[in-house]
């Protein structure tokens, strides 16, 4: 398990790479990661992500209460907390504005249609699309929560992109993959349109992805609300049979 110092080190490294690759400008973007012993490390607001020091990072709890750090946490903290609540398997999140992927997001052009590269299926799975919500408000976490269940990369309409992973660097590399794929898609559009993979070909790629353990696949996730509902129904049935009092 990665220790707390390693988590912070990866956040700082990812912040520098986001700046150097111009995936963020000025104080844009935010990064967070879960700590092994509990708590979430998150980047501060109003700071260039390439100029951060370990002392600038904050630790918050699952409700967003600041546990340590003197600066203010990212203004998009609600979005991060919503993803962690929806996806217990996610341990790190990167939000940035990579130019080409953000161009698709602001043009409301999805990237999960006309899939052209096996590598994007292997690396990202389905690329989701989250409808527009006003940044810093409850609207963004609500729209993201509706889409993040079965994907590890999202276009945020008129806002940028979000990627998740089991580590900060995995989430960051998924952001790189997303941006590269968006660039390739843009080139294919300029050349007359992509020669998309067929549905059977894409399905086979997702099967390979699942077999290799490279990420989540659409249609294989269990909605926690469904689990809760089924549990309630089973309990009611047991109670009608006189078993519930023994549970």
CATH code for the domain in which residue 194 is found:
3.40.225.10
Q: Which of 9, 55, 63, 76 is catalytic?
A: 76
156 inside domain: yes
Domain that holds residue 143: 4-216
> Tokens standing for 116?
């052209």
Contact indicator for 130, 95 with CB cutoff of 8 Å: no
Q: How many domains does the chain have?
A: 1
Q: Which pLDDT tens digit goes with each residue over 154-196?
A: 999 999 999 999 999 999 999 999 999 999 999 999 999 889 9
106 inside domain: yes
Q: Which pLDDT tens digit goes with each residue over 133-156?
A: 888 889 999 999 999 998 999 999
236 inside domain: no
Residue carrying structure tokens 């993201």: 144
Cα distance between residue 160 and residue 101, in whole Å: 7
- For residue 245, CA distances in Å to 219, 233, 236 come to 36, 15, 11
b/e map 80-107, b = 16+ CB within 10 Å: bbbbbebbeebbbbbbbbbebbbebbbe
65 inside domain: yes
Average pLDDT, the chain: 88
185 inside domain: yes
pLDDT greater than 50 at residue 223: no
Has 204 been annotated as catalytic? no
229 inside domain: no
Q: Which pLDDT tens digit goes with each residue over 83-136?
A: 999 999 999 999 999 999 999 999 999 999 889 999 999 989 999 999 998 888
228 inside domain: no
231 inside domain: no
């Amino acid at each position: 398990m990665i220790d707390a110092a390693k988590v912070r080190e990866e956040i700082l490294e990812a912040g520098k790479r986001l700046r150097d690759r111009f995936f963020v400008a000025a104080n844009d973007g935010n990064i967070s990661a879960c700590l092994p012993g509990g708590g979430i490390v998150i980047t501060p607001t109003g700071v260039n992500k390439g100029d951060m020091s370990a002392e600038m990072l904050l630790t918050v709890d699952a409700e967003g209460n600041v546990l340590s750090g003197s600066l203010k946490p990212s203004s998009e903290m609600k979005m991060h907390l919503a993803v962690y609540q929806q996806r217990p398997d996610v341990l790190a999140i990167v939000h940035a504005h990579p130019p080409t992927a953000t161009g698709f997001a602001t043009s409301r052009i999805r990237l999960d249609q006309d899939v052209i590269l096996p590598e994007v299926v292997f690396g990202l799975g389905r690329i989701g699309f989250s409808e527009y919500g006003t940044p810093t408000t409850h609207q963004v976490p609500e729209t993201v929560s509706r889409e993040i269940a079965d994907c590890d990369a999202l276009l945020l309409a008129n806002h940028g992109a979000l990627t998740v992973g089991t580590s900060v660097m995995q989430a960051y590399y998924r952001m790189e993959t997303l941006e590269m794929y968006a660039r390739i898609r843009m080139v294919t559009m300029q050349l007359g349109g992509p020669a998309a993979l067929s549905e059977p070909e894409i399905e086979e790629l997702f099967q390979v992805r699942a077999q290799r353990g490279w990420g989540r696949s659409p249609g294989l996730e269990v909605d926690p609300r469904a689990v809760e509902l089924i549990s309630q129904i089973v309990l009611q049935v047991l109670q009608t049979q006189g078993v519930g009092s023994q549970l």
